[in-house]
Every structure is written in C-alpha cells, then in structure tokens.
Structure 1
Amino acid sequence: MKPVRKAVFPVAGLGTRFLPATKAFAKEMLPIVDRPLIQYAVDEAREAGIEQMIFVTGRGKSALDDYFDIAYELETTMRARGKSLEPLAATRLPPGALASVRQQEPLGLGHAVWCARDFVGDEPFAVILPDDLMVGTPGCLRQMVDAYERVGGNIICVQEVPREKTASYGIVTPGALDGALTEVRGLVEKPRPEEAPSTLAVVGRYILQPEIMRVLDNPTTGAGGEIQLTDAMAAMIGTQPFHGLTVDAVRYDCGDKAGFITANIALALARDDIGPSVRAFLADLD
C-alpha cells in the first residue's frame, strides 16, 4: 500500500459569495484571525505527512503561490529592524513542495481534481477544500491517513447533516460500521431531502486512489451541469475499498459568510492572547 504523499487543493473558485472583497483577492487568502484559510489547509496537510501541495488555480490567484514563497523585501526589512521572522516560518515550504496547475474553465470539482493528474501520477492522494476549516487534534487529514493505513482504498470525510440540507452535499449510502468508519455502498450528489439515502454527508477532505483519474478522463456532467467528483467516486465503489470516516473535529464552512465569521470568533476565543478581550466584548453585547 503506497503512502499518501501528495495533496490537491482546488483553489480556482471565484469567491462570488464574498464580493466585493474577493474582486481582486483570492478567497483562500481571507484571514481567520491572523492566518489565511490556505495556511490552515496546508498546515493540516503537513501534519498528516503530505510532502507536495498541488494547487489547482485560476486567473488572479497568483497570491497563493506568492504567499508560500520567500518575501525578500519584507524579510530584509524585518531583520534590519530587529523583528522576529517567526510569524513567517509556516509560510515557507521546502523547494519542490509546491506545484501549481491552471483550471482554465470552472467545470466543477471533478474537473479541478483531474487537472492535477500529471502531478498525482500513479500515487494515492488527498484532496483538501480550504473552505472547509476543520479544527481538531490531531488534524482531520491526520485522522484520515491513520484510517487509510489500516484499511486502504479510498477514505472520505463524512459528517451528519440535517435532512433539509442534503441538497447541498454529496450523501452516502451507508453499509457496515466499524467504529468511526462507515462502509460506503453508494454516493449521490446533492439529493433532495426526500430522496437522500442517509444524512451522512461528504465534507471537504478525501483520500483517493489514482484510478479515479481514469474515470475523470471520460467525465459526464452531473448536478449543476458540472463534472462532479462525487459521481466519479461513485463509479469506483465496488472495485476498491471505500469508507467514510467521521472525524473528531469541528467544521466551519468558511465559504459561507456566517460560517466565516463564526470561525473567526471561535478561533479567537481559543487564543490566550486575544481570547479574553473578545470574550469581554461578546459579554457586553448581552
């Protein structure tokens, strides 16, 4: 069983739900307290042993590559002023650890993952959606890698959602249970509540075998007229082991304005340096 060494980050989205802030600004650079969303995602990947980050980008997303590059002028100025470079340490990736490829058209998540096929090659790989901020110890992907090393195949992160919200997710047809692992017998993209096979939803973390790229070589359009990753995964069920893992983590949907604000408050409250001030402000609102 090959180790999971690579992770694909689909970051080509236009961020229209956050306009006008994202008109000239990658949504993945929106900060949660003092770190952008993409930093949380990359930190989670590194904790899980990922060695190469593959960004699937679009036009106007060069800031993502720049963020993980050396900032020569900034660092020189900070040194000259006697300031510590420690806040920048996590933004430095080793040479060769970051690769980028363009998704030239917004054709769906399945198409975005397929754009990374040459970098993935014949290895299993992770997919991380930075909009889904997962907070847990160990990190969400670390938990998934641990499960993968036990059962192999394909692992998707799943969480229970209210039935009225199934039309916003890929939904699992569940099989046998093994602790936090659920056998995946089927997947349906964005079913209506009355047609959903369960309320177990796929959220933004995946470990997939490279054979999924062969499925995506001959795609069909699904929900929303897009090439859906869920449909490609569904085509592989029965040919390889497939499990959903309910992780011990809190999910914040930072592609949604309310979720983004909630994440900022929650992570600020958890910090020793600013938590007391934020807590006092919230108390004054009552």
Structure 2
Amino acid sequence: MKLLARLRRAFGASRAAPDGPAPAQDLRLRRAAIPVMAQGTNAWPALHALPIEMLPVVDRPLIHYAVTEALSAGIEELVFIVDRGKRALDEQLDLEVDMLPRGVRAHFVRHNAAQGVGQALLAARHLLDDEACAVLLPGQVTEARPTVLAQLVAQFQRTPGSIFAVEPATPQMTMGSEGLLETAAGDLRLASIRRVATSLDHRPPADARLWSPVGRCILTRAVFDNLEQMADAQSPHTGDLRDVIEAVLRTEPAFSYRYSGRCFDCASPLRWLEANLVQALEHPQLAGEFQHLLRQTAQFVPVNEDLSQAQARALPTGAAAVTGRPRLRLVRS
C-alpha cells in the first residue's frame, strides 16, 4: 500500500473510472487575445496615420493599458494579433513583452487588419480555441477598481459562458452604432442577451433594454466554430464586436455584464481628453502636481471670462493691452 501511494505521488493520481464522478470544470481564465488592428480613422487628424494603439494617454500608449489590465486579471498568456507592416507598433510590443512578469508568455499572429475582429480571432484560433479566452480591444482604456476584465473573470467563474462588458446605451452612443445588445429590462448586473440591435430607430419591446458593448469580453470555445461558419458563408464582418456576439448567439446563450467603472473610446477626441484627465489624476508621480494645476486653472479663469480677458486681468498695471489670442500664462497665488 505504501509503495502504491508513493507511485501515485510520483506519477500523479490515476484518472477516474468511466463510471466515476466527472472531474470539476476548470474555470480559470489563462489567455487573452489583444487584436492590435493598427487601423487609422478619420475621426480626428492625429489618427490618420498613427495607429490608435500608439496614441499616448498621459505617458503611456494605449496598448500598455490593455496589457496591464490583462495582467491584473490573472492572465498568464497573451496573444497579440498584429497588423502587418507597422514598425513602430512592433517596437512598442517588443517593449511590452520585455516588461512582462516572469511566467507570462506572449504570442504574435500576423493578420490583415481590414477584415475585423472576428477574422482576427480566427487567425489566432490555433492558440485560443482549446479553452475560454478574454478579448481586449486596446483602442479603449478603462478605469475601474477592480479592473473591468477582473470583474468579468469573477463573474465567469460563477456563470461560465460568453460575457460582454456593457454600459447603458444613450442616443449619443447609438449614432452610427452597429452593435447594441437587447436584454430583458431591469437593473440586474448580469442579463441574457436576446439579440444584436442596430440602432434605437428600431424601438425595443417594453420589457427590453439596450446596452452598448465595450471592448472587454470573455468568449467560450464555441465561438470559433461559429465564426468559421460565418466566414464560409461570406457574412460581412465589421471592425467592432457585433460579428463576434452574433457568432456566440448562434449556438449558445451569451450574457451582458454591467461593469462598475468607466470606459473611454479614444477614437473620439473628447473621450481621449477625458481619459488623460482621469489617468493623470491616478498617476503615481504626476497626480499631486496635476491636481494643483487643475485648481490653479479653475481659479485663474472664471466661468464668465474667456482666456484673453483672464490673462489681461493677471497682467501688471500699465502693461500693454492684450490683443489677438495671447499665450495663457498661469500665475501662482
């Protein structure tokens, strides 16, 4: 008996008999896919040629925030799906990999960015389809404690299934949107997705509610077979998550999760500025001085004055009159 016990410890316990109890399902999430599509956008001039993943927020590019969020959720393996021919992006990704903690692995898959998120996931299927995986779109930066992906991981362990982080849909979000999720009405944080709506022009039923997905989700293995079928049928693929959500709904239920926190889509200049403001207030080295700058600026420019009037008021008596659009000079009190 002692010899048998030693052998089991040395070589591992034997597998359960066919008629024995089924092994418990492992719900740990180990992998995350980050489609680095590197597509320019006409939303504002800075992104005509610059990949949005390289857009800086305070002192770091957007891709760094996605990697940091994945690591904070316990991800052990990162799969970057990268567009071809983006040298600056390749160099930044090399730097991100060099900073990964010990035990975290990284893989790179080259793909044509014009084909969208669904096809990008298919390009990395050989690295992802043996278990559930997370997906992070690096063009969006989130601010939450715990992080949005960590919240999804905790919910996935209670509800194993494809889960999409969402926020309430507003008329501003739905202008031109191609991916709104319809669920049952109510204030529940977790809800089953009924279908993908296109806009508020099609009014949802009285017992339904519309949500806007953000670039964070967890996908089960079934999504890859469904994406393959959609590709074979030459279904149109978009650059957002709509095709991925529709692929999941073909064969299994999917859930929306109303996360706690904020998400900033940095393809919008205003949202990018807001992301800079929020991240600067959380920065370990810059937060104190930045808070002082905000207080100083708020006192310097009253609501009922424009910048030229405020600067004229701050100049010494007898100074030359301010004309045109002079440069703003902050004065410490």
Bucket of the pairwise TM-score, normalised by the shorter protein: 0.7 to 0.9
Question: 3-state SS of the aligned residue for 1:137?
Answer: coil
Flag structure 2 segments of 5+ consecutive residues without an equivalent: 1-24, 303-333
* Residue in structure 2 matched with residue 110 of structure 1 by the alignment: 118
Once the two structures are overlaid, the 10-residue window that deviates more, 227-236 or 212-221, is 227-236
Pair 1:37 & 2:62 matched: yes
**2:278 aligned with 1:266, yes or no?**
yes
Q: Which residue of 1 aligns with 2:109?
A: 101
Partner of residue 121, structure 1: 129
| Separation of aligned partners in 1, 2:239 and 2:55 | 27
Q: Distance in 1 between matches of 2:266 and 2:239?
A: 23
Flag the 1:196–1:285 CA change in 2: closer, same or farther, 3 A.
Answer: farther
Aligned match of 2:245: 233
What is the RMSD of the two structures over their aligned residues, measured on CA atoms?
2.8
Give the structure 2 partner of residue 193 of structure 1: 200
Asked if the contact 1:109–1:227 (Cα under 8 Å) also holds between the matched residues in 2, the reply is yes
Is 1:176–1:183's contact at 8 Å kept on the other side of the alignment?
A: no
Question: Hey, what does 2:220 align to over in structure 1?
Answer: 209
Matches within 5 A, 1:1-286: 1=25, 2-17=27-42, 21-22=46-47, 25-69=50-94, 91-94=99-102, 97-163=105-171, 165-166=173-174, 167-175=176-184, 179-188=188-197, 191-195=198-202, 197=204, 198-219=209-230, 220-222=234-236, 226=238, 229-237=241-249, 239-270=251-282, 271-286=287-302
Determine the C-alpha separation between the residues in 1 that align with 2:156 and 2:90: 29
Structure 1 residue 177, shift from structure 2 partner: 5.7
Structure 1 letter corresponding to 2:300: D
Q: Deviations over 1:187-237 (max 9, x none)?
A: 23xx13221534311111110012111111122434xx6476423432433
Instruction: Sort the Cα spacing of 1:203 and 1:10 in 2 relative to 1 into closer, same or farther, 3 A.
Output: same
Q: Deviations over 1:152-207 (max 9, x none)?
A: 1110001112135324141112137684111112223xx13221534311111110
Contact 1:5 1:50 survives alignment (8 Å): yes
Pair member with larger Rg: 2
> CA–CA distance in 1 between the matches of 2:48 and 2:199?
32
Identity over aligned pairs, percent: 31
User: Does structure 2 retain, via aligned residues, the 8 Å contact 1:163–1:199?
Assistant: no
Unmatched tracts of structure 1, length 5 or more: 71-87
Shift in alpha-carbon separation, 1:228–1:20, aligned structure 2, 3 A: closer
After superposition, the Cα gap between the structure-2 partners of 1:45 and 1:3, relative to the gap in structure 1 and judged at 3 Å, is same
Q: Aligned letter for 1:244?
A: S
Task: Specify the SS of the correspondent of 2:212.
Answer: strand
Shift of 1:12: 1.4
- TM-score normalised by length of structure 2: 0.71
Structure with bigger RCO (C-alpha 8 Å, 6+ apart): 1
